[in-house]
């Protein structure tokens, strides 16, 4: 894939970012890069061991409830969420089904429609990925001073009024039990 192949995400006003917005984005990118590599690639190792492609992994995480949707999806809806073709997503789902991570079920309201649903094995893999990521984040948080943690918590708390972030937080917090 070439850099020119990557689709950019347009903001609400679809204008070019200001210098301040670019600097904030660079700070976020630096932190995320550090966090992504902090666990010495443990999460990447689990993904590699699973044999899943990125499309399959994204679909599995969405089916596992880490995205915006419910647990049952039509292949065309998954394709639309991730900006891939329906045939590409269908192949990804077929692989998840073959690996026992997802299943295709009949829609109770329309027997002509088949929906994709995560299996217990798929949930286990999602939980493993979440646990590994959380462990890496906790290890990073333990390296922060009390003042740094308070500042980071305050910055993150200020974003909790965004429904998308708050929902993800509640989901991840609930998966600790």
Q: How many CB atoms lie within 10 A of CB 44?
A: 13
* pLDDT tens per residue, range 7-37: 555 545 556 889 999 999 999 999 888 887 8
Give residue 2's pLDDT.
Answer: 40
Rounded Cα distance, 131 and 64, in Å: 14
State the first-to-last Cα distance of the chain, in angstroms, to the nearest integer: 40
Q: How far apart are CA 130 and CA 136, in angstroms?
A: 10
DSSP state letter for 161: T
- For residue 29, the surrounding DSSP H or E stretch is helix 19-38
pLDDT digits (tens, 9 = 90+) for 143-172: 999 999 999 999 999 999 898 888 878 877
Contact criterion met (CB below 8 Å) for 65 and 130: no
Confidence of residue 4 (pLDDT cuts 50, 70, 90): very low
Q: Which two tokens stand for residue 31?
A: 């932190």
DSSP character string of 80-99: HHHT--HHHHHHHHHHHHHT
**The pLDDT of residue 68 is above 60:** no
- Residue 90's pLDDT is 95
Q: What is the pTM of this model?
A: 0.75
Over residues 35-52, mean pLDDT: 84
What backbone phi and psi angles, to 5 degrees, belong to 114?
Answer: -110, 135
Chain mean pLDDT for the chain: 85
- Residue 155's CB: how many other CB atoms inside 10 A? 9
Predicted local distance difference test score (pLDDT) of residue 7: 52
DSSP string for residues in 116-142: EEE-HHHHHHHHHHHHHHHHHHHHHHT
**What is the rounded distance in angstroms from the CA atom of residue 134 to the CA atom of residue 33?**
15
Sheet holding 102-106, edge to edge: 72-73, 114-118, 102-106
- How far apart are the C-alpha atoms of 83 and 77, rounded to whole Å? 10
């Amino acid at each position: 894939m070439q850099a020119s192949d990557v689709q950019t995400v347009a903001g609400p006003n679809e204008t070019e970012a200001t210098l301040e917005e670019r600097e904030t984005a660079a700070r976020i990118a630096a932190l995320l890069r550090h966090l992504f590599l902090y666990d010495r690639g443990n999460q990447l190792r689990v993904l590699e061991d699973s044999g899943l492609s990125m499309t399959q992994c994204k679909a599995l995480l969405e089916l596992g409830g880490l995205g915006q949707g419910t647990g049952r999806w039509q292949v065309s809806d998954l394709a639309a969420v991730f900006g891939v073709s329906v045939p590409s997503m269908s192949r990804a789902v077929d692989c998840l089904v073959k690996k026992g991570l997802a299943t295709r079920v009949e829609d109770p309201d329309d027997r002509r429609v088949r929906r994709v649903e995560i299996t217990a094995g798929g949930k286990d893999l999602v939980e493993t990925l979440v646990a590994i990521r959380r462990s890496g984040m906790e290890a990073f948080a333990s390296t922060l001073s009390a003042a740094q943690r308070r500042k980071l918590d305050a910055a993150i708390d200020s974003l909790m009024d965004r429904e998308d972030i708050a929902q993800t937080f509640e989901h991840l917090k609930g998966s600790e039990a």
